[in-house]
Amino acid sequence: MANITKKVSWSSRTDESGTPGEGTPLLNGSERASHSRQLSEEDSLFQIGRLSTVDLEEEITSDEDSQRGRLKEIPHNEKLLSLKYESLDYDNIENQLFLEEERRMSYMGFRCLEISRWVVCGLIGFLTGLIACFIDIAVEELAGIKYQVVKENIEKFTEVGGLSISLLLWAVLNSAIVMMGAIIVAFFEPIAAGSGIPQIKCYLNGIKIPRVVRLKTLVVKVCGVICSVVGGLAVGKEGPMIHSGAVVAAGVSQGRSTSLKRDFKIFEYFRRDTEKRDFVSAGAAAGVSAAFGAPVGGVLFSLEEGASFWNQMLTWRIFFASMISTFTLNFFLSVYHKNPGDLSNPGLINFGRFQSDSVAYNLYEIPLFIAMGAIGGLLGALFNILNYWLTIFRIRYVHRPCLQVMEAMLVAAVTATVSFTMIYFSNDCQPLGPEHSEEYPLQLFCADGEYNSMATAFFNTPERSVRSLFHNQPGSYNPLTLGLFTLTYFFLACWTYGLAVSAGVFIPSLLIGAAWGRLCGILLASIPSNGSIWADPGKYALIGAAAQLGGIVRMTLSLTVIMVEATGNVTYGLPIMLVLMTAKIVGDYFVEGLYDIHIKLQSVPFLHWDAPATSHWLTAREVMSSQVTCLNRIEKVGTIVDTLSNTSTNHNGFPVVVQVSGSDEPAKLCGLILRSQLIVLLKHKVFVELARSRLTHRKLQLKDFRDAYPRFPPIQSIHVSQDERECMMDLTEFMNATPYTVPQETSLPRVFKLFRALGLRHLVVVDDVNRVVGLVTRKDLARYHLGKHGLEELQLAQT
Amino acid sequence: MANITKKVSWSSRTDESGTPGEGTPLLNGSERASHSRQLSEEDSLFQIGRLSTVDLEEEITSDEDSQRGRLKEIPHNEKLLSLKYESLDYDNIENQLFLEEERRMSYMGFRCLEISRWVVCGLIGFLTGLIACFIDIAVEELAGIKYQVVKENIEKFTEVGGLSISLLLWAVLNSAIVMMGAIIVAFFEPIAAGSGIPQIKCYLNGIKIPRVVRLKTLVVKVCGVICSVVGGLAVGKEGPMIHSGAVVAAGVSQGRSTSLKRDFKIFEYFRRDTEKRDFVSAGAAAGVSAAFGAPVGGVLFSLEEGASFWNQMLTWRIFFASMISTFTLNFFLSVYHKNPGDLSNPGLINFGRFQSDSVAYNLYEIPLFIAMGAIGGLLGALFNILNYWLTIFRIRYVHRPCLQVMEAMLVAAVTATVSFTMIYFSNDCQPLGPEHSEEYPLQLFCADGEYNSMATAFFNTPERSVRSLFHNQPGSYNPLTLGLFTLTYFFLACWTYGLAVSAGVFIPSLLIGAAWGRLCGILLASIPSNGSIWADPGKYALIGAAAQLGGIVRMTLSLTVIMVEATGNVTYGLPIMLVLMTAKIVGDYFVEGLYDIHIKLQSVPFLHWDAPATSHWLTAREVMSSQVTCLNRIEKVGTIVDTLSNTSTNHNGFPVVVQVSGSDEPAKLCGLILRSQLIVLLKHKVFVELARSRLTHRKLQLKDFRDAYPRFPPIQSIHVSQDERECMMDLTEFMNATPYTVPQETSLPRVFKLFRALGLRHLVVVDDVNRVVGLVTRKDLARYHLGKHGLEELQLAQT
């Protein structure tokens, strides 16, 4: 792409002349042929329904009915970027109001703020821990009842024959429970589907996903995940914890609940994107921490996904929230398990302690581990590709809520049937240990004092199955059992992810990996050489679990730390890291990680860490949108209303320009104002009537903006009379007077770095005399990505 | 401070006219009364010698002799900022050469670069691990010989009387060994003194500390630390590992050694501050990882101290280096200990494994832990204040190398004497355990089969003493022993830190804390109520160690993780965190952390994470230096030479301006060029002779700049003839054409955030038509800090 030099025609006008209706000053860049933002023919081939995981609907119309059943034109092509997604603003809007407030604040004021941040983080940790505790206990109790009922039934019918009735009972029970979970998700809050990790990734990346951090979402998520796990689906309850923690954080930090219509009048200072994001990071970390008993892993997860600018105090607070969350969960669980004060089970799942002496590894095992990592990468890529096709299919054909519920029920029934069949035809009988390590041992056709080994894997919550695979004695499983289990569970898990139920993919991945990992261990142990060294298959189960999980989700640093913390053994750090790295490299060769696939399928403008490597030949000039609508510092209300109402552009940030009255100099950039700010100004009628030259409004406070945050009303809901349209509005006090700017020649990586490091939403491009020539937003940067054939450019779609 | 509006007088000149000697265009801001950069009378009262830890000398004159013995005027007032320190440039200089190179590079090229980054990190980890291994083995062997000799001597003289000869032997041995260490440090490389952590903190913060990452420093550091530890000083070998790792990283990543005059012609791409910094982060992390067996802690340490913009791939590489380092150390140590493959001792120090079942804590112990944290904070503050006074004293009176060596010898002798006295007068005899857990049990006056308990603490390497305090059976120490030990060791350690020897403060701090912590545990156990719950004093030793260390160094997140990893038990995370937090809060009330004190005493312009909270009323206008020397895009060589030679300003970055020929418009900013770049240009005579209008030089490559990096010659060493002075130099290709700019009204926190997040060195302040009005550098931002009485401004000193 050559450097296209553009002639910029600046429709100069002086506002003070008061000629109305001339339209807003526009920078008409020459038509950019290469950047056509139209949907191409090809794209429109996609028949598009409603997305379940991330609802794309703009919240302009607040009627809930519009959510249901109506088909919408939504692209699900990963080569598109949707323009519907808005950015969050992680850069403080430093307007006069804000600066005045900051200047008024004493040192003690800042100290108090700091203390309340800590309090909020403590609360976030505590509540997240409580929620984790609630989920855990609910699942344990309900699953206990279910398995007990089915077990008794199976035992009854094993003797008298007619096990098909047991199968029916199991399948119906599962379907019924899953149905409940699917109904609340599909009909009440579709955003609560899935693990929630892609959504939280997007949120922390700076993308506004509607309704993702609402109370209703939390309730649906928690109930949904309980139903899914109890319903016996191939899912985990860990992923949803991260989403739950984030919702808790977003709620607690704002000191009010819009859903409950309660405003506690506290933490008002935190009512902006910058502060809220920080707390949501803490919430996500607390969620990870509760899920895996991995506070450090939680911090790193938040940083890996969310942080742009690392801040020591923030990280320290995030760590605090994580610690409190683990501690709370641990404490209440210890009380529940009638063992108060035993704080050694720090998470929803823990892998049990791997003692380094019992399962030490040797240097020559490392190549084996790496090979297992490669297998994990391959299997993970297969999983992701299958799930990708399935998701496309779902988007096209399974978009009605009732269909979604039926699919979920079908999966539940099939899962039960497959499990039952596997158990039924398995003849892997193992002697019952003296300590009755199995929770629900199924005797079935085994001799007395023995249990069916396949049933420990299938007839159990997945968390327990994982632990059995890690820690059961060598010889507890025979290879055929493990092979069959891997195969069936792989396809079940793949089918399950993306259903309209609230559920995570961590545990199924671990389970698949642990199964084939243990299988590898058993096969290695059968090598005649000197068997003792390969003795422990649990070690290989752990490596396999890491490989499979890494192959599917492609997380790196945080996952290593999570695994290390969950095993409680730092010596496994290096092998786990090597395995995750191999799995990522191998997997990335074929397809992206599962979360990234789902993010791309939603056409979310996700910003990665760096600009694509080979993008140095692009400059701000090529990247920017040159259709910038500028406002004058003192602007006519009518113009503003028209600008905001213009649905064809739907801009959210407007550079403010100023022109010396009577001079013919071009207008200079003097600030930046957001749609949300203008809306508040219009709502409060902050107009200056020119004729009488007096203020018709009370002085606007920051509080007014905070009260409106984050659900600013749409422009359509604000009535502006014809008289008022003739008034003027003085933006001086409200605009950000010092927006970041770059010259046109700045290279894309440089623009990207500035944008990403500071969490910007709009970056103004100026020429050498400070005139606005363009605006860089998230979509302009996210468009460029490195494909198989070098730098590619994504299409932008209005839908 | 009111907004001072300045009239800027721009001495406009057009370069093309060729009138020489008019002087550089200067922006003469009005005299800033409030920001006088003169040394006040008060400051000059300080009698100033030569600093041992951080040598302030500018490396303009390369003769090594100037280092020695000569008194210099160096401030050591913490209310000053030295202008002598230069910044590193963590922002890529995106000039045309750079962009052309990047554009030429294919995607495969970037992949290869990425792979070589990984290779370098692996090498860094490996070499750091090897160095740690070497230090450990050397210390173990040498200390073993020393203690054996002394032990035999003591045993001989215990029977026949005349133990004063043993004392003499011990003292002389210690002094002799320490003398060697002190001589190489004081005479050959003073920067190798101390732990090196403050220096690495500064480096990662972006400050150029001369000679801190040289090979010679590494050699002296390694030999020095072996001598200090073997010499029985109250020091640890862990801090120096961090510095060693950093030096290894800086060396390996550059693919050459200037000291050895070898250039391997590899990794040339990494020869700039940005890349080098990343590797130094990895090296520091690898050092921490090797020292404490804490790879995650290492990563967090690097991030806490160094990161501004978090980058996922970078962090992942840092983690890799850490892992390799731990693994290497572990592996070679296991071979050394004749137990190859046992990878369970991952660090120079490890605290032994705390089994959660044996030393679980209860909820009601948490207030106790917090109280201990407060004690740690108090004792830490006391330690720091004493050391602060001592450092001031040293700066004034102990600045000659020979004096420094003598002081070190004195401390060594006193340490031996005190230890001997304590052991001699102690009557705390303990029965020898069956497993002979003590390495060098001293019987002295105890009965047969018993050993002197005080000797386990004093007659041992500090690492072993710490482990004994953590893990020895309850009853191994009596309270008086512990009390006396705490008291004497506290003062010894305080006296030792800051000596001209290479040594760390981590282990002594842990040892002091473990001693009084264990004392607390014993006292608590003596409370009659129900003794069983307080049974294990080792737990309190751990908490005490954390409290004391936290109270002295005030690290937070990374220290928590290091402690957790070193204990291998995640359940201790919350108490350790609470303790460290309390210690920090309490300690900060009195005085800063030890490292920060030493950094401040060197008047280093250290940038913290955020701008001071109450600084919103300051804007770029007040903060910037308005004495900006600008260059024209096509500038006369003579002007450039004069500008660079001007010792009164000694600027390092020059905004480049352009003026339309013949127009009266003011000159506009068009780029930024560094002193180092100009030097290279002058050296290669990149001149345009106007008369003949032809190029007299070959085309300059990026390689020329890289070859000169990082030791650019001083301007004085470059000869420019009178004819050449009349030539012109075209800067277009070499300047950074898109420097970051801010308007004058930008608030200080905003400027700070931009500066810190992007790791800038110069930030140009422009007016609304893009004219240069000022330049913000590190010193301008570091000047403002939050003191006891609100915002304070530090003085800038030329020296």
| Phi and psi at residue A265, to the nearest 5° | 55, 30
Interface of B with A in 318-337 (CB under 8 A): 319-320, 323-324, 326-327, 330-331
Other C-beta atoms lying within 10 Å of the C-beta of residue B766: 21
CB A407 within 8 A of CB A398: yes
What CATH number should be reported for the domain whose range is B15-74+610-797? Answer: 3.10.580.10
Instruction: Give me the mean pLDDT over the A208-212 stretch.
Output: 87
Q: Which CATH superfamily is domain A9-74+612-797 in?
A: CBS-domain (3.10.580.10)
Between chains, do A742 and B742 touch, taking CB under 8 Å as contact?
no
Average pLDDT of chain A, as a whole number: 81
pLDDT in tens, A498-526: 899 998 899 999 999 999 999 998 888 87
Chain B contact for A115, CB < 8 A?
no
For residue A573, give the nearest of B308, B323, B738 by CB distance: B323
d(CA B416, CA B319): 40
Strands A762-766, A784-787: pairing is: unpaired
ipTM of the complex: 0.85
| Phi and psi at residue A80, to the nearest 5° | -115, 155
Sign of CA dihedral A218, A224, A230, A233: negative
Chain B contact for A310, CB < 8 A?
yes
Letter for the amino acid at B136?
Answer: D
Ranges of each domain in chain A: 9-74+612-797, 113-336, 363-427+461-600
For residue B758, give the nearest of A99, A557, A754 by CB distance: A754
Q: List the single best residue of B1, B555, B738, B765 to mutate versus A (max A Cβ within 10 A).
A: B738
Tokens standing for A67?
């959510």
Give the closest residue to A123 by CA, choosing from A266, A236, A222, A261. A266
DSSP 8-class letter at A526: T
Tokens standing for B116?
């070589």
d(CA B596, CA A312): 15
Chain B contact for A575, CB < 8 A?
no
Q: Cβ contacts of residue A210 below 8 Å, gap of 6+?
A: A55, A57, A58, A59, A191
Planar angle of CA B373, B378, B379, nearest 5 degrees:
95
For residue A308, give the nearest of B99, B310, B357 by CB distance: B310
Distance of CA A539 to the CA centre of its chain: 31
Query: DSSP of B326-361, one letter per residue?
Result: HHHHHHHHHHHTT-TT-----SSS------TTTT--
Chain B contact for A107, CB < 8 A?
yes
pLDDT recorded at residue B415? 92
What's the Cα-to-Cα distance from B693 to each of A451, B641, B730, B735, rounded to whole Å?
A: 94, 21, 12, 21
For residue A557, give the nearest of B315, B737, B740 by CB distance: B315
Between chains, do A609 and B311 touch, taking CB under 8 Å as contact?
yes
For residue B574, give the nearest of A327, A750, A770 by CB distance: A327
For residue B738, give the nearest of A304, A743, A790 by CB distance: A743
| Size of the A and B interface in Cβ pairs below 8 Å | 207
Q: At what angle do helices A537-553 and A594-601 cross, to 10 degrees?
A: 20
Sign of CA dihedral A727, A730, A736, A739: positive
Chain A contact for B589, CB < 8 A?
no
pLDDT recorded at residue B727? 85
pLDDT in tens, B471-480: 877 777 888 8
Tokens standing for B739?
């420097």
pLDDT recorded at residue A546? 94
Instruction: Give me the mean pLDDT over the A469-487 stretch.
Output: 85
Distance of CA A600 to the CA centre of its chain: 12
pLDDT recorded at residue A305? 76
Higher pLDDT, A737 or B474: A737
The span from the first CA to the last CA of chain B, in angstroms, equals 28
Burial grade of B425 (CB within 10 A; 0-12, 13-18, 19 or more)? exposed
pLDDT in tens, A601-626: 888 888 888 888 888 888 999 999 88
CB A330 within 8 A of CB A343: yes
* Percentage above 70 pLDDT, chain A: 83
Tokens standing for A497?
């992810």
Q: Measured between beta carbons, which residues in chain B are less than 8 angstroms from residue A102?
A: 616
Burial grade of B530 (CB within 10 A; 0-12, 13-18, 19 or more)? exposed
CB A376 within 8 A of CB A579: yes
What's the Cα-to-Cα distance from A762 to each of A6, A25, A285, rounded to whole Å?
A: 21, 18, 28
d(CA A142, CA A580): 35
Burial B569-579 (b: 16+ CB within 10 A, else e): bbbbbbbbbbb
Q: Which residue stretches of chain B have pLDDT < 70?
A: 1-78, 307-310, 341-346, 353-360, 433-440, 528-535, 660-665, 689-698, 798-799
Letter for the amino acid at A305?
Answer: E
d(CA A543, CA A524): 14
Distance of CA A80 to the CA centre of its chain: 19
Tokens standing for B295?
């790879």
The number of CA neighbours under 13 Å toward the Cβ of A138 is 17
pLDDT recorded at residue B511? 93
Instruction: Give me the mean pLDDT over the A251-263 stretch.
Output: 82
What CATH number should be reported for the domain whose range is A113-336? Answer: 1.10.3080.10
Between chains, do B574 and A324 touch, taking CB under 8 Å as contact?
yes
Q: In Å, how far is A669's CA from the nearest CA of chain B?
A: 8
The span from the first CA to the last CA of chain A, in angstroms, equals 27
Asked if the model's pLDDT at residue A94 lies above 80, the reply is yes
d(CA A729, CA A718): 16
Planar angle of CA A146, A149, A152, nearest 5 degrees:
145
CB B283 within 8 A of CB B129: no
Asked if the model's pLDDT at residue A550 lies above 50, the reply is yes
Instruction: Give me the mean pLDDT over the A366-371 stretch.
Output: 91
Distance of CA A454 to the CA centre of its chain: 35
d(CA A19, CA A70): 44
d(CA A128, CA B791): 38
What CATH number should be reported for the domain whose range is A363-427+461-600? Answer: 1.10.3080.10
**Nearest residue in B to A760, CA atom:** B754
The pTM assigned to this predicted structure is: 0.87
Tokens standing for B190?
């003073």
pLDDT recorded at residue A528? 65
d(CA A667, CA A10): 9
Asked if the model's pLDDT at residue A32 lies above 70, the reply is no
Question: Phi-psi region for residue A338, left (φ > 0), alpha (ψ -120 to 50) or beta?
Answer: left
Tokens standing for A536?
């422990």
CATH of B363-601, one of 3.30.360.10, 1.10.3080.10, 1.10.3720.10, 3.40.47.10: 1.10.3080.10
Q: Is-same-fold flag (A9-74+612-797; A363-427+461-600)?
A: no
d(CA B132, CA B287): 8
pLDDT recorded at residue A312? 80
Give the closest residue to A133 by CA, choosing from A342, A350, A284, A325. A325
| Phi and psi at residue B38, to the nearest 5° | -85, 150
Distance of CA A230 to the CA centre of its chain: 24
